[in-house]
Structure 1
Amino acid sequence: MPTAPDKRGPAPTLRDVAARADVSATIASRVLNDDPSVRVRDDTRARIHEVAQALGYVPNGLARSLRKSRSDAIGLVMHNLASPLNTTVLEGVRGRCADAGYVTLVADSDQLTVDSSRLRTFLARGRLDGVILHVGYGHHDRLIEEVSRHLPAVLVNADLTAPVPAVRLDDTAAGRLATSHLISLGHTDICFIGGPEGSVTSLGRQSGYEAALEESGRQPRIDAIRAGWGPEDGEAAALELLRRPALPTAIVVANVVTASGVLTVLRSAGVRVPDDISVVAIHDAWFAKHLAIPLTTVQLPLFELGETAAGLLLGTLAGKEPSDRVLITDPPPHLIPRESTAAPRAGAR
């Protein structure tokens, strides 16, 4: 028998209901908001309502009103909209949604996080059917929870454990491929410049870097610097390297934008790429081949990332039970060799 709700503790969330009812948060939300298109067994529907009543959870009124009508609009919440990497994800989302007859409404995650009124406006004005969240690494856990309480949602390459389905890139394979390329050229002293502390994306790419070193058959020497995703973070990491008694012969940078900052500092310091040091970055972007030293990169399927996320959300809207986690392995990471990598200089370590 259901127990009376505990009024002394914090207010129950949709995540609490979903966990207790053993369903996804998306399904729980749609059932509790009376979505007529959701397809679940009668006993599952009854269990969700029973658990919600026992916990004292009340669905948000806005969400209920949204689910009673279809708007043919999908929301895409992104961080750093100007990034050349994110625009490719956007194209994947927009194309898949357009094929299904939906328009895509875009919002900046930072604005919605700091201004709750903008979030309410974004959710209400467009009368969205669902939301794709590409919010990156940081402080967006409350945004994710708030959006997923109102509407079906899908995460894109998120760093957080959240109660909604997620689509991720194969970051470990990308890190392994970048490092293996340098090893094949003869490098053994390879530094890894990663993203922010705690970033799951960066940790995955570092894991691939470490795996490639171990698989090389040599005694691996792990050399990792924590940085970030901006060019200024790459500049700071390169300055840290330059303060060392000796440079490594090669660098794997976890992000192509970060790598642009690395190259700027190395060039200013008179360090020749690739004669003195080789550099390879994860992700390809239009500017990579136009830098002073065209940059070797590992291309990841960003268009497919957006396309898959949109397909997952559209499937949920059609009543399909979504997968909790989707890892994109096809197409796999692809190496694009350019002029920033070469064999180590004679006499290098």
Structure 2
Amino acid sequence: MSSLVEVAKAAGVSVSTASRVLNGSSHPISAKTRARVIAVAEQVGYSPSALARALVSRSSRLLGVLVSDIVNPYFSVIARGVDDVASRAGYVTMLSNVDRRTSTEINRLQTMRDYRAAGVIFAGSGYDDDPHTPELVKAVRQAREQGIQTVSLTIRDLGCPTITADNRTAAYDITDHLLSLGHRRIAFIEGPPGMVASRQRREGFLTCMSDADLAEAAQCHPGGFDYESGHAATMRLIARPPMPDAILAANDEAAVGALNALRQARIDVPGEISVAGIDDLRVAQFVGLTTVSLPLYEMGAMAARHIIEAAPGAETDNPTATILSHRLIPRETTGRRTTPMPA
């Protein structure tokens, strides 16, 4: 493939003129010169790079997706939804791990601005009382002013549209399902401390238990959004009997950790204790885990469509908030309580 210098030489123009023609610049160039440069470029098989076009047009066909943990399957499902829509529209998805750090989100957003990204999707949850939030809000506003669309997939005060699942109601519904099976003493394994999504799911659990006049029977235990946290929390429960009727983990990975800890201790699931999670990741399907299916793929796909279909400068001071529905998925890890409750 020929270089831009060779195209310019063959067309008898300067490199800057050839660049302006081939990258769609609005700089005034005669129709005759423009036609000659294009004809030479076609003859030698030259095409400008996507980055070069972005630098001239001030926009690229790039969608940035910022995720909290790149190996977490929760974000893999979201990313697949983004990329399926993006690729069909001729866009490229760039996935970036921020390791649950707002400061890293700010840096990654600046990188996306440097690449003239069409849009940036914040897929991870924020933290309560995060000292870096004002700086991130400012960075998001600057990106919007630059023409970059931004979307958040969790409830965060970033001044941009949100497309989310309802964490509180999801946790409420799965707790209510456990109660409907006759379970009363339910242990909730929490997500990462300080994270908004963790708090929302904990609140949903506690609200449901309170509505059932079982607030005193509710147990909350420190945990996390990973297998190891769920396993460790359950091992602590096993070491300090009596065991609860059921365990609800803040997400599926932690629930699978709880499930394996119980099986290692030869505690029958669901004969002696039921186990449930939230998300409905593939691992939940593999082990027959009762859970709540969150619309992760749909969230990613809708966010991509929002960015691709938005007109330039379409961001407003009153961003939209869309909440997608979830579904309860009963499976083999939960069952009806058969033993009577103690007096």
Q: Which has the higher contact order (CA 8 A, sep 6+)?
A: 1
CA contact (8 A) 2:227 2:253 kept: yes
> How big is the shift at 1:214?
3.2
Amino acid at match of 1:152: Q
> How big is the shift at 1:148?
5.1
Alignment-derived partner of residue 301 in structure 2: 307
Amino acid at match of 2:188: F
The 1-side partners of 2:175 and 2:304 are apart by 32
The 2-side partners of 1:131 and 1:183 are apart by 40
1:203 is aligned, of 185, 199, 204, to: 199
Moved more, 94-103 or 73-82: 94-103
Task: Give the 5 Å matches for 1:236-251.
Answer: 236-251=232-247
CA contact (8 A) 1:177 1:333 kept: no
**How many residue pairs align between the two structures?**
280
2:258 is aligned, of 255, 262, 278, to: 262
CA contact (8 A) 1:113 1:119 kept: no
Is 1:82 aligned to residue 71 of structure 2? yes
Distance change (3 Å), C-alpha of 1:318 and 1:146: closer
Task: Give the 5 Å matches for 1:189-338.
Answer: 189-216=185-212, 221-291=217-287, 294-322=288-316, 324-329=319-324, 332-338=325-331
The TM-score normalised by the length of structure 2 is: 0.71
Distance change (3 Å), C-alpha of 1:147 and 1:266: same
Alignment-derived partner of residue 94 in structure 2: 105
The 2-side partners of 1:152 and 1:161 are apart by 16
Distance change (3 Å), C-alpha of 1:306 and 1:249: same
> How big is the shift at 1:250?
0.6
Alignment-derived partner of residue 8 in structure 1: none
Alignment-derived partner of residue 11 in structure 1: none
Distance change (3 Å), C-alpha of 1:298 and 1:91: same
> How big is the shift at 1:215?
3.3
The 1-side partners of 2:256 and 2:272 are apart by 17
> How big is the shift at 1:98?
3.5
1:153 is aligned, of 147, 150, 153, to: 150
Is 1:136 aligned to residue 125 of structure 2? yes
> How big is the shift at 1:272?
1.6
Alignment-derived partner of residue 32 in structure 1: none
CA contact (8 A) 2:164 2:323 kept: yes
1:104 partner SS: strand
1:91 is aligned, of 68, 80, 83, to: 80
Identity %, equivalent residues? 32
Kindly provide the CA deviation profile for residues 242-297 of structure 1, in whole angstroms up to 9, marking residues without a partner as x. Answer: 23231110111110011111112222222221111101100111122323xx2111
The 1-side partners of 2:57 and 2:194 are apart by 40
2:174 is aligned, of 175, 178, 185, to: 178
> How big is the shift at 1:68?
4.7
Distance change (3 Å), C-alpha of 1:211 and 1:66: farther
CA contact (8 A) 2:136 2:158 kept: no
Is 1:343 aligned to residue 336 of structure 2? yes
CA contact (8 A) 1:130 1:153 kept: yes
CA contact (8 A) 1:235 1:265 kept: yes
> How big is the shift at 1:334?
1.0
1:70 is aligned, of 45, 59, 66, to: 59
Kindly provide the CA deviation profile for residues 92-145 of structure 1, in whole angstroms up to 9, marking residues without a partner as x. Answer: 212333344422222222399569987765543x43122112233467745675
Amino acid at match of 1:313: I
> How big is the shift at 1:306?
0.9
1:289 partner SS: helix
The 2-side partners of 1:256 and 1:107 are apart by 23
Distance change (3 Å), C-alpha of 1:67 and 1:112: farther
1:154 partner SS: strand
The 2-side partners of 1:67 and 1:311 are apart by 24
The 1-side partners of 2:250 and 2:56 are apart by 40
The 2-side partners of 1:71 and 1:144 are apart by 23
Unaligned regions of 5+ residues in structure 2, if any? 1-25, 27-53
1:105 partner SS: strand
Alignment-derived partner of residue 15 in structure 1: none
Unaligned regions of 5+ residues in structure 1, if any? 1-35, 37-64
CA RMSD of aligned residues (A): 3.1
Distance change (3 Å), C-alpha of 1:162 and 1:120: closer
Distance change (3 Å), C-alpha of 1:174 and 1:117: closer
